[in-house]
A = this chain, B = another copy of it.
Amino acid sequence: MPHPPFTPIVEALPETVPFVGPEAIERRTGIPTRARIGANESGFGPSPKVIAALRDAAPGVWTYPDPENFALREALAAHLGIGNDEIAVSEGIDGLMGLLVRLFIAPGDVVVTSLGAYPTFNYHVVGFGGDLRFVPYQRYHEDPEALAAMARQTNARMVYLANPDNPMGSFWPAADIERFIEAVPETCLIVLDEAYMETAPDDFPRIDTSRPNLLRLRTFSKAYGLAGLRCGYAIANRRIAGAFNRIRNHFGVNKLAQVAALAALDDQAYLHQAVESIAAARTRISRIANANGLTALPSATNFVAIDCGRNGAYAVRVLEALGEQGVFVRKPAAPGLDQHIRISAGPDEQLDILEQAMPLALRAAQGSP
Protein backbone atom coordinates (compact mmCIF):
# COMPACT_ATOMS: atom_id res chain seq x y z
CA MET A 1 0.00 0.00 0.00
CA PRO A 2 1.42 3.45 -0.82
CA HIS A 3 2.33 5.60 2.15
CA PRO A 4 4.46 8.68 2.88
CA PRO A 5 8.13 7.64 2.97
CA PHE A 6 10.31 8.54 5.92
CA THR A 7 13.54 10.40 5.22
CA PRO A 8 16.48 8.07 4.46
CA ILE A 9 18.00 8.73 7.90
CA VAL A 10 14.75 8.01 9.75
CA GLU A 11 14.03 4.93 7.64
CA ALA A 12 17.22 3.36 8.99
CA LEU A 13 16.55 4.19 12.66
CA PRO A 14 15.26 1.62 15.12
CA GLU A 15 12.48 2.47 17.58
CA THR A 16 15.00 2.38 20.42
CA VAL A 17 14.28 3.79 23.84
CA PRO A 18 17.49 4.97 25.53
CA PHE A 19 16.04 4.11 28.93
CA VAL A 20 13.09 1.94 29.88
CA GLY A 21 11.22 3.66 32.69
CA PRO A 22 10.43 1.90 35.96
CA GLU A 23 6.75 2.40 35.12
CA ALA A 24 7.20 0.23 32.02
CA ILE A 25 8.96 -2.43 34.09
CA GLU A 26 6.09 -2.39 36.58
CA ARG A 27 3.57 -2.78 33.77
CA ARG A 28 5.51 -5.71 32.32
CA THR A 29 6.30 -7.59 35.55
CA GLY A 30 3.36 -6.61 37.71
CA ILE A 31 5.81 -6.06 40.58
CA PRO A 32 5.35 -2.67 42.28
CA THR A 33 8.50 -0.61 42.72
CA ARG A 34 9.26 -0.39 46.44
CA ALA A 35 12.66 1.29 46.15
CA ARG A 36 13.07 3.68 43.21
CA ILE A 37 16.85 3.95 43.20
CA GLY A 38 17.74 3.32 39.56
CA ALA A 39 17.32 6.53 37.57
CA ASN A 40 19.65 8.82 39.55
CA GLU A 41 16.75 10.94 40.65
CA SER A 42 16.85 12.61 44.04
CA GLY A 43 14.67 10.71 46.45
CA PHE A 44 15.24 13.54 48.89
CA GLY A 45 12.89 15.57 46.73
CA PRO A 46 12.92 19.24 45.83
CA SER A 47 13.06 22.11 48.30
CA PRO A 48 9.81 22.69 50.26
CA LYS A 49 9.94 26.20 48.78
CA VAL A 50 9.79 24.67 45.31
CA ILE A 51 6.74 22.64 46.27
CA ALA A 52 5.08 25.76 47.66
CA ALA A 53 5.92 27.71 44.49
CA LEU A 54 4.46 24.96 42.31
CA ARG A 55 1.24 24.92 44.31
CA ASP A 56 0.94 28.69 44.07
CA ALA A 57 1.54 28.60 40.32
CA ALA A 58 -0.92 25.79 39.54
CA PRO A 59 -3.94 28.00 38.68
CA GLY A 60 -1.79 29.93 36.20
CA VAL A 61 -0.99 27.04 33.88
CA TRP A 62 -3.47 28.39 31.32
CA THR A 63 -0.86 30.85 29.99
CA TYR A 64 1.98 29.81 27.73
CA PRO A 65 5.43 29.88 29.31
CA ASP A 66 7.76 32.75 28.47
CA PRO A 67 9.38 31.39 25.27
CA GLU A 68 12.59 33.22 26.08
CA ASN A 69 12.96 31.67 29.56
CA PHE A 70 14.07 35.16 30.45
CA ALA A 71 13.70 35.18 34.23
CA LEU A 72 15.42 31.83 34.55
CA ARG A 73 18.27 32.80 32.24
CA GLU A 74 18.70 36.02 34.21
CA ALA A 75 18.87 34.13 37.49
CA LEU A 76 21.31 31.57 36.10
CA ALA A 77 23.45 34.31 34.59
CA ALA A 78 23.67 36.08 37.96
CA HIS A 79 24.41 32.77 39.69
CA LEU A 80 27.22 31.96 37.24
CA GLY A 81 28.52 35.47 36.60
CA ILE A 82 27.93 35.41 32.85
CA GLY A 83 25.52 37.01 30.37
CA ASN A 84 21.98 35.71 29.93
CA ASP A 85 22.75 35.27 26.23
CA GLU A 86 25.39 32.72 27.16
CA ILE A 87 22.72 30.36 28.48
CA ALA A 88 20.25 28.18 26.59
CA VAL A 89 17.44 26.45 28.49
CA SER A 90 15.62 23.38 27.25
CA GLU A 91 13.54 20.32 28.17
CA GLY A 92 16.29 18.68 30.21
CA ILE A 93 19.81 17.92 29.07
CA ASP A 94 18.31 15.28 26.77
CA GLY A 95 16.46 18.01 24.88
CA LEU A 96 19.61 20.12 24.62
CA MET A 97 21.53 17.13 23.27
CA GLY A 98 19.06 16.66 20.43
CA LEU A 99 19.34 20.34 19.56
CA LEU A 100 23.10 20.60 19.72
CA VAL A 101 23.59 17.52 17.56
CA ARG A 102 21.19 19.08 15.05
CA LEU A 103 23.14 22.36 15.14
CA PHE A 104 26.52 20.81 14.41
CA ILE A 105 26.24 17.30 12.99
CA ALA A 106 25.38 16.68 9.34
CA PRO A 107 25.12 13.10 8.07
CA GLY A 108 28.54 11.44 8.19
CA ASP A 109 30.14 13.92 10.60
CA VAL A 110 32.25 12.25 13.25
CA VAL A 111 31.35 12.45 16.94
CA VAL A 112 33.61 11.02 19.65
CA THR A 113 32.42 9.66 22.98
CA SER A 114 33.32 6.91 25.46
CA LEU A 115 32.17 3.33 25.06
CA GLY A 116 29.51 3.01 27.74
CA ALA A 117 28.86 6.73 28.29
CA TYR A 118 25.41 8.38 28.22
CA PRO A 119 23.29 6.50 25.64
CA THR A 120 20.83 9.34 24.99
CA PHE A 121 23.65 11.38 23.52
CA ASN A 122 24.44 8.51 21.14
CA TYR A 123 20.74 8.18 20.32
CA HIS A 124 20.65 11.76 19.08
CA VAL A 125 23.92 11.47 17.14
CA VAL A 126 22.64 8.39 15.33
CA GLY A 127 19.29 10.12 14.87
CA PHE A 128 20.93 12.85 12.80
CA GLY A 129 23.15 10.48 10.83
CA GLY A 130 26.37 11.21 12.75
CA ASP A 131 29.29 8.79 12.75
CA LEU A 132 29.96 7.76 16.36
CA ARG A 133 33.47 6.74 17.41
CA PHE A 134 34.13 5.21 20.80
CA VAL A 135 37.03 5.49 23.23
CA PRO A 136 37.22 2.86 26.00
CA TYR A 137 37.05 3.80 29.68
CA GLN A 138 40.31 3.58 31.61
CA ARG A 139 39.87 2.14 35.09
CA TYR A 140 36.22 3.27 35.20
CA HIS A 141 37.08 6.83 34.16
CA GLU A 142 36.34 8.38 30.80
CA ASP A 143 39.76 8.99 29.25
CA PRO A 144 40.16 12.69 28.41
CA GLU A 145 43.53 12.31 26.75
CA ALA A 146 42.37 9.50 24.49
CA LEU A 147 39.12 11.35 23.70
CA ALA A 148 41.05 14.44 22.60
CA ALA A 149 43.45 12.31 20.57
CA MET A 150 40.57 10.52 18.84
CA ALA A 151 38.89 13.87 18.14
CA ARG A 152 42.07 15.11 16.45
CA GLN A 153 42.67 11.91 14.48
CA THR A 154 39.12 11.68 13.15
CA ASN A 155 38.64 15.39 12.50
CA ALA A 156 35.61 15.08 14.75
CA ARG A 157 32.95 17.79 14.87
CA MET A 158 32.00 17.01 18.46
CA VAL A 159 33.44 15.23 21.48
CA TYR A 160 31.46 14.26 24.57
CA LEU A 161 32.77 13.98 28.11
CA ALA A 162 30.70 13.71 31.28
CA ASN A 163 32.35 14.94 34.46
CA PRO A 164 31.43 13.52 36.92
CA ASP A 165 30.81 10.44 34.84
CA ASN A 166 27.61 8.48 34.45
CA PRO A 167 27.36 5.44 34.81
CA MET A 168 30.56 4.95 36.83
CA GLY A 169 30.48 8.00 39.12
CA SER A 170 34.14 8.86 38.54
CA PHE A 171 35.53 12.40 38.52
CA TRP A 172 38.37 14.39 36.99
CA PRO A 173 39.69 17.49 38.79
CA ALA A 174 39.74 20.83 36.99
CA ALA A 175 43.37 20.52 35.89
CA ASP A 176 42.68 17.35 33.90
CA ILE A 177 39.58 18.79 32.27
CA GLU A 178 41.44 21.97 31.37
CA ARG A 179 44.17 19.90 29.73
CA PHE A 180 41.49 18.04 27.77
CA ILE A 181 39.87 21.29 26.63
CA GLU A 182 43.21 22.60 25.40
CA ALA A 183 43.91 19.37 23.53
CA VAL A 184 40.71 19.45 21.46
CA PRO A 185 40.86 21.42 18.18
CA GLU A 186 38.84 24.63 18.27
CA THR A 187 36.75 23.45 15.31
CA CYS A 188 35.48 20.50 17.38
CA LEU A 189 32.69 21.24 19.86
CA ILE A 190 33.39 19.97 23.37
CA VAL A 191 30.18 18.82 25.06
CA LEU A 192 31.05 18.78 28.73
CA ASP A 193 28.17 17.17 30.58
CA GLU A 194 28.14 18.38 34.19
CA ALA A 195 24.73 17.00 35.17
CA TYR A 196 26.13 15.71 38.45
CA MET A 197 28.35 18.68 39.28
CA GLU A 198 26.55 19.64 42.50
CA THR A 199 27.47 16.36 44.21
CA ALA A 200 31.15 16.43 43.15
CA PRO A 201 34.21 17.99 44.78
CA ASP A 202 34.34 21.75 44.21
CA ASP A 203 37.08 21.49 41.60
CA PHE A 204 35.72 22.46 38.18
CA PRO A 205 37.25 24.64 35.48
CA ARG A 206 36.03 28.16 35.98
CA ILE A 207 33.23 29.28 33.66
CA ASP A 208 34.90 30.82 30.61
CA THR A 209 32.53 31.57 27.75
CA SER A 210 35.25 33.04 25.57
CA ARG A 211 36.18 29.55 24.42
CA PRO A 212 34.66 29.12 20.92
CA ASN A 213 34.12 25.37 21.17
CA LEU A 214 33.06 24.63 24.74
CA LEU A 215 29.52 23.88 25.82
CA ARG A 216 28.69 22.79 29.36
CA LEU A 217 25.45 21.06 30.26
CA ARG A 218 23.77 21.34 33.65
CA THR A 219 20.41 20.34 35.03
CA PHE A 220 17.78 20.72 37.72
CA SER A 221 17.03 16.99 37.51
CA LYS A 222 19.67 15.67 39.88
CA ALA A 223 20.65 17.35 43.15
CA TYR A 224 17.85 19.93 42.79
CA GLY A 225 15.29 17.12 42.61
CA LEU A 226 13.26 18.34 39.62
CA ALA A 227 13.65 15.45 37.15
CA GLY A 228 9.90 15.36 36.50
CA LEU A 229 9.77 18.93 35.26
CA ARG A 230 12.41 18.71 32.53
CA CYS A 231 14.71 21.66 32.81
CA GLY A 232 18.35 21.70 31.81
CA TYR A 233 20.63 24.40 30.50
CA ALA A 234 23.70 24.89 28.39
CA ILE A 235 26.50 27.36 29.06
CA ALA A 236 28.41 28.48 25.98
CA ASN A 237 29.59 31.51 24.08
CA ARG A 238 26.92 33.75 22.53
CA ARG A 239 27.34 32.29 19.04
CA ILE A 240 26.41 28.81 20.22
CA ALA A 241 23.92 29.71 22.97
CA GLY A 242 22.09 31.96 20.53
CA ALA A 243 22.04 29.35 17.78
CA PHE A 244 19.62 27.20 19.76
CA ASN A 245 17.06 29.90 18.94
CA ARG A 246 17.30 28.91 15.27
CA ILE A 247 15.88 25.45 15.83
CA ARG A 248 14.47 24.98 19.32
CA ASN A 249 10.84 24.49 20.29
CA HIS A 250 10.53 28.00 21.72
CA PHE A 251 7.62 27.14 23.98
CA GLY A 252 9.11 23.76 24.98
CA VAL A 253 10.10 24.52 28.58
CA ASN A 254 6.90 24.45 30.57
CA LYS A 255 5.83 27.19 32.93
CA LEU A 256 5.99 25.11 36.11
CA ALA A 257 9.55 24.07 35.25
CA GLN A 258 10.45 27.74 34.99
CA VAL A 259 8.79 28.49 38.33
CA ALA A 260 10.36 25.49 40.06
CA ALA A 261 13.85 26.04 38.67
CA LEU A 262 13.81 29.66 39.83
CA ALA A 263 12.68 28.66 43.31
CA ALA A 264 15.21 25.83 43.46
CA LEU A 265 18.10 28.05 42.43
CA ASP A 266 17.03 30.55 45.04
CA ASP A 267 17.23 27.99 47.84
CA GLN A 268 20.93 27.13 47.92
CA ALA A 269 20.63 26.22 51.60
CA TYR A 270 18.32 23.36 50.66
CA LEU A 271 20.68 22.31 47.87
CA HIS A 272 23.57 22.02 50.32
CA GLN A 273 21.41 19.96 52.64
CA ALA A 274 20.37 17.68 49.77
CA VAL A 275 23.98 17.24 48.72
CA GLU A 276 24.88 16.22 52.28
CA SER A 277 22.02 13.72 52.35
CA ILE A 278 23.21 12.33 49.02
CA ALA A 279 26.76 11.97 50.33
CA ALA A 280 25.51 10.10 53.40
CA ALA A 281 23.41 7.83 51.19
CA ARG A 282 26.41 7.08 48.99
CA THR A 283 28.34 6.01 52.09
CA ARG A 284 25.51 3.77 53.17
CA ILE A 285 25.19 2.17 49.71
CA SER A 286 28.93 1.45 49.78
CA ARG A 287 28.58 -0.11 53.22
CA ILE A 288 25.72 -2.29 52.03
CA ALA A 289 27.90 -3.41 49.12
CA ASN A 290 30.84 -4.20 51.38
CA ALA A 291 28.66 -6.07 53.86
CA ASN A 292 27.68 -8.32 50.98
CA GLY A 293 31.26 -8.89 49.86
CA LEU A 294 31.03 -6.50 46.92
CA THR A 295 33.19 -3.53 45.95
CA ALA A 296 31.69 -0.05 45.65
CA LEU A 297 33.43 2.45 43.39
CA PRO A 298 34.17 5.96 44.67
CA SER A 299 31.45 8.33 43.45
CA ALA A 300 31.22 12.06 42.76
CA THR A 301 27.58 11.70 41.72
CA ASN A 302 24.24 10.84 43.32
CA PHE A 303 24.72 7.13 42.66
CA VAL A 304 27.24 4.37 43.36
CA ALA A 305 28.51 1.77 40.91
CA ILE A 306 28.97 -1.60 42.58
CA ASP A 307 31.17 -4.30 41.15
CA CYS A 308 29.25 -7.55 41.47
CA GLY A 309 32.51 -9.44 41.26
CA ARG A 310 31.81 -11.65 38.25
CA ASN A 311 30.83 -10.97 34.63
CA GLY A 312 28.08 -8.93 33.00
CA ALA A 313 25.62 -11.80 32.85
CA TYR A 314 25.93 -12.25 36.59
CA ALA A 315 25.39 -8.55 37.25
CA VAL A 316 22.24 -8.72 35.10
CA ARG A 317 21.02 -11.57 37.29
CA VAL A 318 21.65 -9.50 40.43
CA LEU A 319 19.75 -6.59 38.86
CA GLU A 320 16.85 -8.85 37.93
CA ALA A 321 16.77 -10.44 41.36
CA LEU A 322 16.62 -6.98 42.94
CA GLY A 323 13.83 -6.11 40.50
CA GLU A 324 11.85 -9.15 41.63
CA GLN A 325 11.89 -7.65 45.11
CA GLY A 326 10.68 -4.29 43.82
CA VAL A 327 14.10 -2.65 43.93
CA PHE A 328 14.61 -0.66 40.74
CA VAL A 329 18.28 -0.14 39.85
CA ARG A 330 20.10 0.10 36.53
CA LYS A 331 23.49 -1.07 35.25
CA PRO A 332 26.14 -0.23 32.69
CA ALA A 333 25.98 -2.38 29.57
CA ALA A 334 29.35 -1.78 27.91
CA PRO A 335 32.05 -4.47 28.03
CA GLY A 336 34.52 -3.72 30.81
CA LEU A 337 31.87 -1.84 32.84
CA ASP A 338 29.05 -4.35 32.74
CA GLN A 339 30.01 -6.31 35.84
CA HIS A 340 28.60 -3.36 37.81
CA ILE A 341 25.16 -2.35 38.94
CA ARG A 342 24.38 1.31 39.59
CA ILE A 343 22.40 2.36 42.65
CA SER A 344 21.02 5.88 43.18
CA ALA A 345 21.24 7.71 46.48
CA GLY A 346 17.93 7.86 48.30
CA PRO A 347 16.47 8.35 51.76
CA ASP A 348 16.95 5.72 54.44
CA GLU A 349 13.56 4.08 53.91
CA GLN A 350 14.62 3.26 50.36
CA LEU A 351 18.06 2.04 51.39
CA ASP A 352 16.53 -0.11 54.15
CA ILE A 353 14.71 -1.97 51.39
CA LEU A 354 17.92 -2.27 49.40
CA GLU A 355 19.77 -3.56 52.46
CA GLN A 356 17.19 -6.31 52.99
CA ALA A 357 16.98 -7.18 49.32
CA MET A 358 20.68 -7.34 48.47
CA PRO A 359 21.67 -10.61 50.18
CA LEU A 360 18.56 -12.34 48.79
CA ALA A 361 19.32 -11.01 45.31
CA LEU A 362 22.90 -12.24 45.45
CA ARG A 363 21.78 -15.67 46.62
CA ALA A 364 19.25 -15.82 43.80
CA ALA A 365 21.84 -14.69 41.24
CA GLN A 366 24.36 -17.26 42.48
CA GLY A 367 21.79 -20.01 42.42
CA SER A 368 20.47 -19.31 38.92
CA PRO A 369 22.21 -20.73 35.87
A positions within 8 Å CB-CB of B: 1-10, 13-21, 23-24, 27, 36, 39, 41-46, 50-51, 54-55, 58-68, 70, 91-92, 94-95, 98, 102-106, 109, 120, 127, 157-158, 185-189, 212-213, 221, 225-230, 239-240, 242-243, 245-247, 249-257, 260
Distance in angstroms between the alpha carbons of A55 and B61 in the assembled complex: 12
Cβ of A45: which chain B residues have Cβ within 8 Å of it?
59, 62
Contacting residues, chain B, for A21 (C-beta < 8 A): 64, 66-68
> Are A251 and B103 in contact (CB-based, < 8 A)?
no
| Cα–Cα, bound, A20→B251 (Å) | 10
Determine the chain B residues whose CB is within 8 A of the CB of A213 once the complex forms.
3-4
Chain B residues closer than 8 Å to A70, beta-carbon distance: 23-24, 27
**Whole-angstrom distance between the alpha carbons of A230 and B68 in the complex?**
15
Q: How far is the CB of A256 from chain B (nearest CB, A)?
A: 5
- Could you say how many copies of this chain the assembly holds? 2
Asked if residues B229 and A254 are in contact (CB atoms below 8 Å), the reply is yes
Complex contact B127–A1 (CB within 8 A): no
Selected contact of A94 from candidates B2, B50, B227, B252, CB within 8 Å: B252
Are B19 and A249 neighbours in the complex by a CB distance under 8 Å? no
User: How far does the alpha carbon of A105 sit from the alpha carbon of B10 in the complex, in Å?
Assistant: 10
Contacts of A94 in B (CB 8 A): 249-252
Q: Which residues of B contact A39 (CB under 8 A)?
A: 63-64
Q: How far is the CA of A14 from the CA of B62 in the complex (A)?
A: 30
Question: Quick one: closest B residue to A48, CB to CB?
Answer: B59
Which residues of chain B are within 8 angstroms of A1 by Cβ–Cβ distance? 186, 212
**Complex contacts, A103 vs chain B, CB 8 Å:** 6-7, 10
Known: A63-B36, A63-B39. A106 touches B3 (CB 8 A): no
Q: Is the CB of A51 within 8 A of B62?
A: no
Q: For A62, what are the chain B residues with a Cβ–Cβ distance below 8 Å?
A: 41-46, 225-228
Q: Which of A24, A41, A230 has the most CB of B within 10 A?
A: A230
**A5 touching B187 in the complex, CB below 8 Å, given contacts A46-B61, A62-B41, A63-B227:** yes
Task: Return the chain B residue nearest A156 by Cβ.
Answer: B4
Question: Once the chains bind, are A14 and B246 in contact (CB under 8 Å)?
Answer: yes
The reply to whether A66 and B23 contact each other, CB–CB distance below 8 Å, is yes
Contact indicator A255/B228 (Cβ below 8 Å): yes
9 A-B pairs closest in CB distance: A228-B255, A3-B212, A61-B228, A54-B58, A4-B189, A13-B246, A23-B66, A62-B225, A2-B186
B residues in contact with A257, CB < 8 Å: 254
Cβ-defined contact, A19 with B256, below 8 A = no
Asked whether, in the complex, the Cβ of B188 is within 8 Å of the Cβ of A4, the reply is: yes
A-B contact pairs, 29 of them (CB 8 A): A2-B187, A4-B188, A4-B212, A4-B240, A5-B104, A6-B103, A7-B103, A7-B104, A7-B109, A8-B106, A10-B104, A16-B245, A17-B245, A19-B250, A21-B64, A21-B68, A23-B68, A24-B70, A39-B63, A51-B59, A54-B58, A55-B58, A62-B227, A91-B252, A94-B251, A95-B252, A120-B250, A230-B254, A256-B256
Known contacts A15-B246, A250-B18; is-contact A61 B3 (Cβ 8 Å):
no
User: Is there an interface contact between A106 and B243, defined as CB atoms closer than 8 Å?
Assistant: no
